[in-house]
Structure 1
């Protein structure tokens, strides 16, 4: 569903993303982990076309990632949710439905609003929403067109505990439907229970790309280790 080959994103002489390659298959939930500045958000923004890559090849569903055909296949939920100040919550859904040609969207839209407890906020303007509510609106808008692949950049930030629980369940439901999910997060425990595979970035390079079980098997002294322990071990700077 997603293929990234030899992706490089350079700022000046510094490679923020340093020649990485990976693939995501259908029905796969992949967690993208890494310390601050590792290149997670940059990688995701290059994939969805918000940043121009320096070199490399990216295809989505066999199409170039910048093509209209590719853009029809995915939704992107940014770390900082953006909403339109003068559109109400329901008008955001209407806008997405019209943009993607989604017919009979109102019933599904109401289900999403109910799921994220926004049903009583439907007439509220974007400018009056808290960050958490903006994030919920962003997720609802991403789910409405029923995309084949979803890119979540720190989706849990700003969400209340119930919304985090609901989002995890959404991930599971999407996986059962054969959807592909790439989720970047600092909250390691939020992906440990749902991810089929973990990719760990450090200094723009992939230093781990496997199931949690296999990554633990490869790590030294990993008996009884949590994903957080493994992450800290793999990303620790070598110091004398």
Structure 2
């Protein structure tokens, strides 16, 4: 569902993403990990079209990532959720429904609001929402049109423990439906038990791309090693 070939992104003289290749299949959850400045958010922003790439090819569902066909297939949940100050939570969902020409969307919207404890807050304006509530609204809006590919950039930041647990459950449900999910995060334990594999970035490159079990076998020899331990070992300076 997602194919990235030779992605390059520069900011003036700084090479932020260096010849990155990636391929994600349907029904796959992939964790995108790396220290600050590794290029994770830049990579996702290039994929979804928020940043102009300097080189490379990106395809979503076989379509160029900037095409209308590709944009219908994916949803993007940014690290810093943006909501409209003068729209209520309900208005945000209605806006998404109209933008995607959705029909019979209300029952699913109700399910999402209930899952994230927003039913009694549906009339709150965007300007009155906390960061955590904005994140919940952002996730609900992203899921409403039933995308095939989802890009999450630090989805757990600002969420309370119940919402984090709910988001992990949603990841599992989406995977079972054959959706493709790329999750960029610093909260490594949030993807350890849901990711089919992890891509670890360092200095703009993917330095490791494998299952957690395989990385444990290759680099620690300890089946009980946490993903956090592996990450710190694999990204430490030589």
Give TM class, smaller chain. over 0.9
Q: Is the 8 A contact 1:97 1:105 kept in 2?
A: yes
- Cα deviation per residue 1:197-231 (whole Å; 9 max; x = unaligned)? 10000000001101001111221454532111110
- Cα deviation per residue 1:60-97 (whole Å; 9 max; x = unaligned)? 00000000000000000000000000000000000000
Q: Which residue of 2 aligns with 1:56?
A: 56
TM-score by length of 1: 0.98
Q: Distance in 1 between matches of 2:172 and 2:24?
A: 16
Q: Which residue of 2 aligns with 1:153?
A: 153
Q: Distance in 2 between matches of 1:198 and 1:58?
A: 19
Q: Is the 8 A contact 1:222 1:230 kept in 2?
A: no
Q: Is the 8 A contact 1:89 1:124 kept in 2?
A: yes
- Cα deviation per residue 1:24-65 (whole Å; 9 max; x = unaligned)? 000000000000000000000000000000100000000000
Q: Residue 12 in 1 paired to residue 25 in 2?
A: no
Q: Distance in 2 between matches of 1:180 and 1:120?
A: 31
Q: Any stretches of 5+ residues in structure 2 without a counterpart?
A: none
Q: Which residue of 2 aligns with 1:82?
A: 82
Q: Which residue of 1 aligns with 2:123?
A: 123
Q: Which residue of 2 aligns with 1:200?
A: 200
Q: Is the 8 A contact 1:85 1:127 kept in 2?
A: yes
| Residue pairs, 1:1-240, within 5 angstroms | 1-238=1-238
Q: Distance in 1 between matches of 2:85 and 2:22?
A: 37
- Alpha-carbon offset, residue 101 of structure 1: 1.1
Q: Distance in 2 between matches of 1:49 and 1:218?
A: 35
TM-align CA RMSD: 0.8
Q: Any stretches of 5+ residues in structure 1 without a counterpart?
A: none
Q: Is the 8 A contact 2:77 2:142 kept in 1?
A: yes
TM-score by length of 2: 0.99
Report the 3-state secondary structure (helix = DSSP H, G, I; strand = E; otherwise coil) of the residue aligned with 1:111: helix
Q: Distance in 2 between matches of 1:40 and 1:145?
A: 25
Higher mean C-alpha displacement, 166-175 vs 215-224? 215-224
Q: Distance in 2 between matches of 1:127 and 1:139?
A: 17
Aligned residues: 238
